[in-house]
């Protein structure tokens, strides 16, 4: 399958960052997209409809709605997400993924792409990674033809957790020691890469691929912000305590700092997606 199929490609999470980027990339390649949405009347759903995306109303706890949404599709992209970092919500994330896999089995979906998280398979102990690992395992056992993409930290996090300007200087503060290089990917590239798999123009040996577009320490990230803004910039590492009672977030930043954490082969990812963004490219695009 090297051209866009005439049957739709279903996307779960199309009103969000990852699914939205998948839809952008699929539409740019001429594919017909069906977004599985819980609220077709929402502004974000309606914005998709205006771009000729078909909307299917689904409810995650209504298996018939999910299977109907997947009827006749050529392929299916899904991600999962907890409603909040609380442990009960993280447990629900696994149930969300299981419901989507079950629906794909019921609908005999020919091919599935699941966006999990980098390191899910490496016993991270991070609750919202382990919840995705359980979805991966369930998908693997389902027998569905599938590719699991494992994105590292999103560059897009810096749109909300970026630097502040203090006395004419940019100051970037994260709860991560400065010498630790952190792998990053643009949500846009999760879309580009997923589209390549959904349309059959890319393959992952073994059915899984950890995906990143850059790797930077805190000071290197601050410097990139400074260069973009034309301002001096510095990084300040914060203690984990700034995450308060967010045990999940603390576990993740501890995993970043104390282990080899994300391990994507960026050159291999760029071979699949030659326009892969590094952090300065993301900054330029986002202004
Ligand atoms: N940020 C990072 O650095 C990073 C890195 C790797 C992995 N991740 C993972 O990425 C996930 C978040 O992805 P994202 O940023 O694309 O999320 P997002 O922008 O918050 O979007 C979430 C999407 O899921 C939909 N959704 C959520 N719950 C639903 C439900 N019960 N029924 C139907 N639709 C539902 C939302 O629909 P509505 O519009 O109706 O709300 C929205 O389309 C998390 O699991 C996170 O762990 C994040």
The pLDDT assigned to 1 comes to: 45
Q: Give the integer Cα–Cα distance in Å for 36 and 6.
A: 18
pLDDT in tens, 238-270: 999 999 999 999 999 999 999 999 999 999 999
Indicate if the pLDDT at residue 272 is higher than 50. Answer: yes
Over its C-alpha atoms, the chain yields an Rg (Å, rounded) of: 19
CA 275–ligand 1 middle distance (angstroms): 24
Copy the structure tokens of residue 125. Answer: 């102990």
The mean of the pLDDT values for the chain is: 96
Q: Give the integer Cα–Cα distance in Å for 116 and 271.
A: 21
Is-above-0.95 flag for pTM? yes
13 CA: nearest ligand 1 atom = 43
The alpha carbon dihedral of 182, 187, 189, 190 has a sign of: positive
The architecture of the domain spanning 9-286 is 3-Layer(aba) Sandwich (3.40)
Other C-beta atoms within 10 Å of 159: how many? 12
**Between residues 19 and 86, which one has the greater pLDDT?**
19
Among 11, 16, 19, 53, which is best to mutate for testing ligand 1, by the most ligand atoms less than 8 A from CB?
16
CA 157–ligand 1 middle distance (angstroms): 13
The pLDDT assigned to 77 comes to: 99
Q: Closest residue (by CA) to atom 18 of ligand 1?
A: 16
The pLDDT assigned to 4 comes to: 74
CA 93–ligand 1 middle distance (angstroms): 10
Other C-beta atoms within 10 Å of 132: how many? 29
Q: How large a percentage of the chain has pLDDT more than 90?
A: 95
Q: Ligand 1 pocket by C-beta < 6 Å: which residues?
A: 13-19, 38-39, 44, 60, 79-81, 96, 117, 128, 151, 153-154, 157
Among 38, 42, 63, 81, which is best to mutate for testing ligand 1, by the most ligand atoms less than 8 A from CB?
81
Q: β-strand 146-151 against 153-154: which pairing, if any? A: unpaired
Q: Closest residue (by CA) to atom 24 of ligand 1?
A: 13
Give 3's pLDDT tier (boundaries 50, 70, 90). Answer: low
Among 37, 41, 79, 128, which is best to mutate for testing ligand 1, by the most ligand atoms less than 8 A from CB?
79
The pLDDT assigned to 21 comes to: 98
Q: Give the integer Cα–Cα distance in Å for 219 and 224.
A: 9
List the strands of the sheet with 112-115, edge to edge: 54-57, 33-37, 9-12, 75-79, 112-115, 146-151, 208-211
CA 134–ligand 1 middle distance (angstroms): 17
pLDDT in tens, 157-168: 999 999 999 999
How do the domains of the chain map onto residue ranges?
9-286
pLDDT in tens, 192-227: 999 999 999 999 989 999 999 999 999 999 999 999
């Amino acid at each position: 399958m090297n051209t866009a199929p005439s049957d739709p490609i279903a996307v779960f999470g199309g009103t969000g960052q990852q699914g939205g980027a998948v839809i952008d990339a699929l539409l740019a390649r001429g594919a017909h997209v069906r977004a599985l949405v819980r609220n077709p009347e929402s502004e974000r759903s309606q914005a998709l409809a205006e771009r000729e995306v078909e909307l299917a109303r689904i409810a995650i706890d209504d298996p018939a709605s999910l299977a109907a949404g997947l009827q006749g599709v050529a392929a299916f992209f899904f991600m999962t997400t907890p409603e909040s970092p609380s442990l009960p919500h993280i447990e629900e994330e696994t149930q969300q993924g299981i419901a989507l896999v079950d629906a794909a089995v019921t609908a005999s979906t020919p091919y599935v792409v699941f966006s999990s998280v980098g390191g899910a398979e490496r016993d991270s102990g991070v609750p919202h990674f382990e919840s995705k690992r359980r979805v991966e395992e369930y998908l693997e056992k389902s027998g569905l033809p599938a590719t699991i993409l494992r994105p590292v930290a999103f560059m897009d996090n810096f749109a909300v957790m970026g630097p502040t300007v203090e006395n004419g200087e940019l100051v970037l503060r994260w709860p991560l020691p400065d010498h630790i290089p952190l792998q990053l990917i643009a949500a846009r590239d999760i879309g580009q890469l997923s589209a390549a798999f959904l349309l059959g123009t890319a393959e992952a040996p073994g059915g899984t691929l950890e995906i990143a577009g850059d790797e930077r320490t805190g000071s290197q990230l601050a410097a990139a912000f400074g260069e973009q803004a034309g301002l001096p910039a510095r990084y300040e590492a914060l203690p984990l305590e700034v995450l308060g009672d967010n045990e999940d977030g603390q576990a993740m930043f501890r995993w970043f700092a104390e282990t080899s954490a994300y391990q994507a082969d960026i050159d291999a990812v760029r071979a699949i997606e030659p326009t892969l963004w590094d952090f300065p490219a993301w900054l330029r695009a986002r202004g």
